[in-house]
Amino acid sequence: MPDASAADAPIDRRILPVAVVLVTWAGILAAASRYAWAFYSDDAFISLRYSARLLQGRGLTWTDGERVEGYSNLLWVLGCAALGALGVDIVPAPRILAAAGVLALLFAIARGDDGPDPHRALSGGLFVAATGGIGVWIMGGLSQAVVASLGTLFLVAVRRGSTPPWLLGGLAAALTLLRIDGFVWLIALTVGAVAAGRLGRRALGVVGACAALAVGGQQVFRLVYYGDWVPNTARVKVSFTPARAFRGADWVADALADNLVLVGVAVVAVALLRRRDILDAPI
């Protein structure tokens, strides 16, 4: 009889090849991150100041005077503070969180419906490792890499179909709290999952309830703690002008250009799988 394929092999025989593939992708990401070692976003230090003052018992504040919500990533600020409370130097704390999030994503992608899957580890890990922005933002000190990881984890969990609704809801809540615009990404992901027939009514209800609870809870906290309806970042950065629109379009174009190969592969994949449920595809 012919040998079983890697995907059909017993779980214990699949662990080693999956581990080798994941270590390889992790090494490539580490090399890319090392290339960007000197990069640390100025905005990251704003979040770290709030984390540091929280650790000092001064609350989520910028100064000792009027309370101002100068961050847009509550969960990130709290995560950095949590690592600081464990004795980790607060400056590398964001990099540790980002690396952990990306590694969790690699492991989640590599897991098939019945255990470790070398095919998923190879193809999915390739896409993660080939996304240049991931390695850069592991070093950058902000939450972009983890936002990407959480969004992809949400899709991976939805695709499996057996993921408990409460876990989907937890991912949804985390995504909305990780960045103030996280709900936009969640809506896009949820609409896609519903359109593909992968998210049932019960799971959709739990996801919506958890996301609403997270957003509503933060809004109540904002009103009580800061006495304002919107964060200070919204007053400074949010405006709808032609100049802002063109600038945003330039950023989107730059992002697409930086990942042109991946965009091309995605377009071809969609064309080839147009008659199939894309969320069922191995990649």
Least confident of 31-35, 55-59, 94-98: 31-35
Q: How far apart are CA 52 and CA 157, in angstroms?
A: 34
Most confident range (mean pLDDT) of 62-71, 130-139, 233-242, 247-256 is: 62-71
How far is 193 from 200, CA to CA, in rounded Å?
Answer: 9
> Rounded to 10 degrees, what is the CA torsion of 198, 204, 206, 210?
110
Q: Which of 201, 199, 142, 207 is nearest to 172 (CA)?
A: 207
Instruction: Band the pLDDT of 162: cuts 50, 70, 90.
Output: confident
Q: What is the pLDDT of residue 1?
A: 40
Query: What's the pTM?
Result: 0.83
Answer whether residue 6 shows pLDDT above 90.
no
Give the C-alpha separation, 140 to 154, whole Å.
23
Name the percent of the chain lying above pLDDT 90. Answer: 41
Quote the pLDDT of residue 78: 96
Q: Out of 4-13, 114-123, 156-165, pick the least confident.
A: 4-13
Q: Could you tell me which residue, 4 or 42, shows the higher pLDDT?
A: 42
Q: Which amino acid is at 129?
A: A
pLDDT at residue 168 is higher than 90: yes
Average confidence (pLDDT) over 19-42: 81
User: How does residue 112 score in pLDDT terms, banded at 50, 70 and 90?
Assistant: low
pLDDT at 189: 92
CA-wise closest residue to 186 among 146, 153, 151, 134: 151
**Where does the pLDDT of residue 18 fall: very low under 50, low under 70, confident under 90, or very high at 90 and above?**
confident
**C-beta of residue 48 within 8 angstroms of C-beta of residue 19:** no
Q: Please report the pLDDT score of residue 264 as a whole number.
A: 83
